């Protein structure tokens, strides 16, 4: 079969890699037979020059027909992008992921530093550790946070750390600074993070504790993963401060002015997506 080339968002033509798609499908929970069915049907559709966005959309469409649960997990990265435009729902989602690891987390906190006050996206603590988190939310998947981001945030966290030492707030606990993004960091940003002791967490970085890893381990999924919700439905629910599938209830859907005829389908999809 002749090699098909597809077009990235940057305009670059790259080979369409079946194995790369297969791995992505299996990582999302599809078994080998399901992945093979999706790829075989997709190959009847993919043409030279087609955008990666269209290819992805078609793969999701095929997968959702075969398995709603796996489809929801497959489109997880796009679902995170829909937690906008303000970024506040993303902060709440990150806070929930950290709480799932045994912390008490608060979002949108004003913190007094040694020199100035700071608005911190997430402050999480338990008896052993205190974590201060800055979230960098992007609505475009090709956006990267460069080295200026951790440089600036490191200085803010240092200011907070010095004040908390003075107040004896940290006591004998570890203090960690995190920067979490739903896209990626540049190479220099990652180097600075390692060198300065700042934990950088991106969609697929670091390998053992990326944002995707954290989501997979937690079983927490944003409500934007649900196919049964329209864009308008999602926005109405997010405006109430609800970001997780597991938070959905008939009461929340009613407050969001969603058609009651859709309730059963929405709640069933949410349950199927989050159950292991």
As a whole number of angstroms, the distance between CA 269 and CA 174 comes to 40
pLDDT for 112? 97
Task: Considering only the C-alpha atoms of the chain, give the largest distance between any 2 of them, rounded to a whole number of Å.
Answer: 68
Nearest to 247 by CA among 276, 265, 229, 274: 274
Over the stretch 4-16, which tens digit does the pLDDT of each residue have? 999 987 788 999 9
* Cβ atoms 266, 256 nearer than 8 A: no
Structure tokens at 2: 């002749």
| Three-state DSSP class for residue 113 | coil
As a whole number of angstroms, the distance between CA 21 and CA 52 comes to 11
Over the stretch 128-171, which tens digit does the pLDDT of each residue have? 999 999 999 998 878 899 999 999 999 999 999 999 999 999 99
Over the stretch 14-62, which tens digit does the pLDDT of each residue have? 999 988 888 888 877 788 888 899 999 999 999 999 998 888 888 888 8
As a whole number of angstroms, the distance between CA 11 and CA 49 comes to 10
Mean pLDDT, rounded, for 226-253: 94
Tell me the pLDDT band of 1, cut-offs 50, 70 and 90: low
Give the residue carrying structure tokens 């956006």: 143
Over the stretch 53-109, which tens digit does the pLDDT of each residue have? 888 888 888 887 887 667 666 678 888 989 977 789 999 999 999 999 999 999 999
Nearest to 100 by CA among 196, 218, 195, 202: 218
As a whole number of angstroms, the distance between CA 132 and CA 110 comes to 12
As a whole number of angstroms, the distance between CA 4 and CA 51 comes to 12
As a whole number of angstroms, the distance between CA 83 and CA 242 comes to 11
Structure tokens at 254: 């009613």
126 CB-side CA count, 13 A: 7
Asked whether residue 276 carries a pLDDT value surpassing 60, the answer given is: no
């Amino acid at each position: 079969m002749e090699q098909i080339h597809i077009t990235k968002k940057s305009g670059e033509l790259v080979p369409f890699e079946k194995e790369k798609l297969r791995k992505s499908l299996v990582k999302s929970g599809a078994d080998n037979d399901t992945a093979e069915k999706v790829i075989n049907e997709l190959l009847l559709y993919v043409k030279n020059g087609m955008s990666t966005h269209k290819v992805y959309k078609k793969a999701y469409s095929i997968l959702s027909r075969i398995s709603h649960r796996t489809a929801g997990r497959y489109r997880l990265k796009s679902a995170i992008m829909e937690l906008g435009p303000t970024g506040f729902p993303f902060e709440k989602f990150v806070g929930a992921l950290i709480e799932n690891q045994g912390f008490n987390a608060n979002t949108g906190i004003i913190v007094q530093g040694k020199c100035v006050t700071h608005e911190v996206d997430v402050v999480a603590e338990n008896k052993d550790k205190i974590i201060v988190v800055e979230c960098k939310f992007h609505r475009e998947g090709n956006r990267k946070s460069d080295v200026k981001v951790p440089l600036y945030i490191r200085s803010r966290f240092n200011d907070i750390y010095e004040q908390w030492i003075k107040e004896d707030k940290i006591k004998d606990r570890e203090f960690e600074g995190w920067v979490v993004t739903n896209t990626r960091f540049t190479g220099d940003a990652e180097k600075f993070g390692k060198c300065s002791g700042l934990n950088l967490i991106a969609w697929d970085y670091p390998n053992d504790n990326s944002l995707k890893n954290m989501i997979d381990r937690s079983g927490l999924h944003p409500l934007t993963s649900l196919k049964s919700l329209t864009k308008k439905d999602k926005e109405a629910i997010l405006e109430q401060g609800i970001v997780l599938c597991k938070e959905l209830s008939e009461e929340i859907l009613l407050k969001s002015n969603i058609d009651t005829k859709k309730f059963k389908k929405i709640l069933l999809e949410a349950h199927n997506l989050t159950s292991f």
